[in-house]
Amino acid sequence: MQPNTKWGFVSKYIFQADINIKIHEFPNADAAWLHCVASHRRPTLSVDWAAEWQDYDILAGKVANDRTNPTITAYLAGLFGEVGSMRADEQCVSMLMPENLENQICLRTSAALACISFEGSEKVVCR
Does any domain span residue 99? yes
Reported pTM: 0.80
pLDDT tens-digit series, residues 25-39: 999 999 999 999 998
Largest CA distance in the chain: 47
Does any domain span residue 11? no
Provide the residue range defining the domain that includes 36: 20-125
Q: What is the DSSP-derived secondary structure letter of residue 10? A: E
Give me the number of domains the chain comprises: 1
Does any domain span residue 50? yes
Backbone angles phi, psi at 97, to 5 degrees: 50, 65
Query: Of 59, 64, 55, which Cα lies nearest the Cα of 96?
Result: 64
Does any domain span residue 97? yes
Does any domain span residue 4? no
Which of 29-33, 37-41, 73-77, 88-92 has the lowest average pLDDT?
37-41
What pLDDT does 46 receive? 66
Does any domain span residue 121? yes
Does any domain span residue 113? yes
Which of 41-45, 92-96, 110-114 has the lowest average pLDDT?
41-45
Q: Are strands 23-25 and 58-62 parallel, antiparallel or unpaired?
A: parallel
Q: Is-contact 48 77, C-beta < 8 A?
A: no
pLDDT (average), residues 11-35? 94
Does any domain span residue 120? yes
Classify the C-alpha dihedral 15-17-21-23 as positive or negative: positive
Residues in a beta bridge with 81: 79
| Of 82 and 47, the one with more pLDDT | 82
pLDDT tens-digit series, residues 48-74: 777 788 899 999 999 988 889 999 999
